[in-house]
Structure 1
């Protein structure tokens, strides 16, 4: 059966009939309902329905002449004009793409059909058909090549515009990294079935879009914003996010998509790209809402002093929400709001957006299922958007047949190779860690939702299991073009100087021999507190090779990460939301152990998943050797993740053991450790008899002495 993508809210009888026809197993391809929007010399052309398939080419359906009959010449004239207009708009659009031409002629057949309630006839160039007899008119012999069909889909989906921005004219060798990258980038031009629905379908209600990092949410949201803006140019639409460096990326994508729809620059007063908070120099969703309520927008310093750094934004949003709830005459200021990086935003922000968005509350929020491994359970929609006075939720997500989906999962990861993703999850959870797991999903079924399948065992609490990336969730170009040994590599050094020398030499090779460019490379420093001392050391090492580098957001604009003439260095917090073909994670030994281990493993997960092709993880000392051993165990198992799933009790215990701790709590524990170390040393040297200790302490010391490898955490599954 064909994929059905709903660009319209309600289906009329004829549209419903058309959908039911293409849900028959005899059809492949995609049927778009109420999509796309095209342009010609007369202005905007809105297509009622459009079918694209490899054996049919393009079929445009006109549903505005349902009562036309062969005997009504005036009606037939109008049908012919409508079909000519549709044909010209589609033909003109396809002609813009040279890859679709064959000997200067369009190589894709275009068929136009007007659906009627009673008439089946071909009059001149005009074809009229009832739904019941439509199958006879549909072409089945277009026989488009796979390459032509791929390009055709990218034009219809509007993703032709996001084909590689870089020409990569410096690539001269077919087997260089730059050449491989050209092929990878070429393969990401099409949307998959889930992305199509997420980008085009807009229910008259809130909508949730979720998936792994790299599943295409940023492009999906930009395309959705452009489509809505082209369809409803008078609406005030906000697209919001948390990572400031996404601002330019969203503006660029929206501009490209809007030009694809309407050949015009977006009206940036109607379609506003806003940071979630805002600042003294740039507007944000929060500051816009505060202004509309006549309230001052609180800055970060003030908010931090009042609520603490961790709850600064949540605190001021909660304050503003109190103003909204106490004023029954609040006027909504947005027709639609699209939110990226929802996992990084506090609950009161969403409730604010709910109240300040007009009915029927067209709010789209997208988030990464696993941007933060220890906080993977996004709050349910019923709680995220608040509740009414009677306790009933403001929002409930329910999909209805034949309607735009309200809950969409994007299961395919296009950014990360399967080996990088399995490594990131394996290290993030600690599946091969000698001391046992660090953290784990509360709900085992989430593994399947994010693209894993069971290769052995049972995916259930307390059971042994082995998981691997599903082929359906892994684009074939990764396995066609890359090898696991080159996609992921670990490097251990005796000291930081040696690590820096290796880093600079490797990047020099990337630029001089691998045919990569400066902005293909990103250096990520996991320990944010040391970034200002680490970055200058990296810069000095690179300078010896004549390579310029910059600390993103410090020595450059805070909204920009990459530069065409300089290598970007960044902490993990600015790296979020960005990606690069080649990632270097420097000082990864920081993530091996110690306090706040859950957060450290989250950092490592996020750093590795910035990679679009290759990732290099390096560090020093025995800690790095230990981390490398974890990776080697995963790689030796062909990147299957093999472990015993924790019981519910063990899951709770892990959260306690590896939770984030305050600096005061860490200081207190360190003092306790020092005291214990001195006490054990006295026992070991004979200065103190173990019998002098309290009975509980005696038992503890004896147990610790006998347990060299045991832990209260569940251990990794034996191989």
Structure 2
């Protein structure tokens, strides 16, 4: 079954397009990606297929009948309209061919996708093909009306070839013909790899880009070729979700590291591109996450639709969108203060005024909320009351396992919108290694009071169990030291070693703590001094509200933060210190403490280390794991 993007075809598609969509989905192999009406740098071909075994194919679909066709040649077709008039259009075969060459010319400017020497120097490594599908014409019609005099039969699909209900239909022949469309130029010697397919998707569909650095082009053997070393593209599931969300209210539930924020930002960009006149608002709870989202949206909005558009006049510069364009990114309380000019205590008053039409507050055409599990019911009611009733474009993104505030909710009551049948789940963790995912989830299942509400399928229940990617790494470290000063010294040394030996930038490393001071000890001060001793610069993210607002994620310094403020962020290496203060002795909400540590552990992309020097319920759990690892190692050596 082919992977279709979007997952379902729009209801306004023609009957022929819907038939071909179903056939390709059912007949083509799992490793084939089929895009329906993708916008590719201003063009919209009907279907674009990408497959490891055949390269790329463009299909143009026509619902012409025999009575529609009036006068045809290889370049232009004159059609008889329903009004009895004549209309001249480009030949469907020529249209498909031009679409294919348009795409081919874009891709040939990527150094990673072309031959760099030999007979096919600067040409794509893989073939590109094109074809036309006539959904209401049969093979006998093509012969009877001599249509193959203006069409290439090998590039033409009739109803007989695409309709499984037709007696002569063959799935194997359909697949063979798709393969033949591209192999007419030259055969594909080796199947396309994952990275090459991601490169194609990256260049053709700007919305799947995550955060590759844009560099000005440089000449390469008299050709302008660009190679992106750090190519990053959305996973197909994430891309599909961002594109198929549709309009009106939607709910995305996802596990930590599943790309929820990425889907939300991509959705905001799509809305901004399709509705330049809209006012779009992105809200979240904490300041540091809002800064991260703002940075992501700014990059996405200013990334050119084509990294290969070099046709600007001399001296002309690419237009840069100031800030985030028509997308406003705020944490909730900053939004109240700066945009609504009210305080949280005034929300009930203004809700009453809004109900009676007596208050004037800003309205928005689309609102997207990240980490929705942290929002109060009154906040939802305020937000939904400022949403354009014509668009009702509200997107909520949440993960109940990351909820650190006790907030009872019914989205129907809080927003007045019904999310039944309008929910999607992201349950694959892309951020963390398999070892980190398993380690964090095992802990959460053991200590969460909501463990009986965990579900693994569909949309019922409270908590979604994560599915790990196949990316492997190191087991998380569990380190015990005599006191916190030794903990801090150990962490500082490990950070220096990771930086020097593993070449991890300091900006990619994070130290998390539960509280700054306890029992007369200043833990942040001890951490800063230990880092200074190793000549490592640091930035205390949670020192003040101002330090959160001024946080530069790319600055070459180790980040120090509370666990609460790390939500939505990720780093290559994460150190969680003084976990003997978890659960916090004064905190009665055990669920909050388990969620906090789960959040902290899932910030780590590759390396995770937990340190402690005292004892608590959590350290006893981790000490048992460390002992089991030790015994396993001993048994392994003895055997």
TM-score, normalised with respect to structure 1: 0.67
Distance 1:573 1:319 in 2: 29
What displacement does 1:579 show? 1.0
Name the residue aligned to 2:86: none
Q: Is the 8 A contact 1:245 1:561 kept in 2?
A: no
User: Structure 1 residues 634, 242: closer, same or farther in 2, change over 3 A?
Assistant: farther
What displacement does 1:232 show? 3.2
Matched, 1:582 2:573: yes
Name the residue aligned to 2:449: 439
User: Structure 1 residues 26, 611: closer, same or farther in 2, change over 3 A?
Assistant: same
Equivalent position SS for 2:265: helix
Distance 1:109 1:230 in 2: 31
Q: Is the 8 A contact 1:552 1:562 kept in 2?
A: no
Pairing of 1:120-269 with structure 2 (within 5 A)? 123=150, 129-134=157-162, 135=174, 137-139=177-179, 142=188, 144-147=191-194, 148-158=196-206, 161-162=209-210, 165=213, 189-258=232-301, 259-261=303-305, 265-266=320-321
Select which of 379, 394, 401 maps to 1:349.
379
User: Structure 1 residues 559, 343: closer, same or farther in 2, change over 3 A?
Assistant: farther
320-329 vs 205-214, greater mean Cα deviation: 320-329
Matched, 1:59 2:53: no
Pairing of 1:334-483 with structure 2 (within 5 A)? 334-355=364-385, 356-372=387-403, 379-386=409-416, 394-398=417-421, 406-429=422-445, 431=446, 437=447, 439-444=449-454, 446-447=455-456, 473-478=467-472, 482-483=473-474
Deviations 1:284-319 (A, max 9, x none): 37854x4xxxxxx224xxx3xx4xxxxxxxxx4444
Q: Is the 8 A contact 1:240 1:285 kept in 2?
A: no
5+ residue gaps, structure 1 = 168-184, 291-296, 307-315, 387-393, 399-405, 432-436, 451-459, 461-467, 639-719
Distance 2:360 2:61 in 1: 41
Distance 1:349 1:320 in 2: 11
Name the residue aligned to 2:223: none
Q: Is the 8 A contact 2:291 2:549 kept in 1?
A: no
What displacement does 1:32 show? 2.2
Matched, 1:498 2:469: no
Distance 2:299 2:133 in 1: 33
What displacement does 1:614 show? 0.9
Matched, 1:38 2:32: no
Name the residue aligned to 1:641: none
User: Structure 1 residues 85, 557: closer, same or farther in 2, change over 3 A?
Assistant: farther
Equivalent position SS for 1:581: strand
Distance 2:567 2:471 in 1: 24
User: Structure 1 residues 267, 145: closer, same or farther in 2, change over 3 A?
Assistant: same
Q: Is the 8 A contact 2:368 2:395 kept in 1?
A: yes
Matched, 1:520 2:550: no
Deviations 1:511-551 (A, max 9, x none): 22232111111010112566993222211111112111121
Q: Is the 8 A contact 2:433 2:471 kept in 1?
A: no
Deviations 1:117-155 (A, max 9, x none): 445666468955445435375226656322433433444
Count of matched residue pairs: 545
Q: Is the 8 A contact 2:496 2:536 kept in 1?
A: yes
Name the residue aligned to 1:310: none
User: Structure 1 residues 601, 251: closer, same or farther in 2, change over 3 A?
Assistant: closer
Q: Is the 8 A contact 1:240 1:274 kept in 2?
A: yes
What displacement does 1:353 show? 3.4
Q: Is the 8 A contact 1:215 1:415 kept in 2?
A: yes
626-635 vs 584-593, greater mean Cα deviation: 626-635
What displacement does 1:428 show? 3.4
Across the aligned residues of Structure 1 and Structure 2, the Cα RMSD in angstroms comes to 3.8
Q: Is the 8 A contact 1:333 1:358 kept in 2?
A: no
Distance 2:538 2:557 in 1: 5
What displacement does 1:580 show? 0.5
Q: Is the 8 A contact 1:247 1:273 kept in 2?
A: no
Select which of 535, 544, 554 maps to 2:533.
544
Q: Is the 8 A contact 2:434 2:471 kept in 1?
A: no
Equivalent position SS for 2:95: helix
Deviations 1:450-492 (A, max 9, x none): 9xxxxxxxxx9xxxxxxx988xx322222xxx232xxx01111
User: Structure 1 residues 339, 622: closer, same or farther in 2, change over 3 A?
Assistant: closer
User: Structure 1 residues 70, 243: closer, same or farther in 2, change over 3 A?
Assistant: farther
Name the residue aligned to 1:650: none
Q: Is the 8 A contact 1:275 1:285 kept in 2?
A: no
Deviations 1:609-660 (A, max 9, x none): 110011111111233752432443786999xxxxxxxxxxxxxxxxxxxxxx
Distance 1:442 1:58 in 2: 47
User: Structure 1 residues 348, 151: closer, same or farther in 2, change over 3 A?
Assistant: same
What displacement does 1:165 show? 4.9
Distance 1:26 1:63 in 2: 17
Pairing of 1:299-314 with structure 2 (within 5 A)? 299=343, 303=344, 306=345
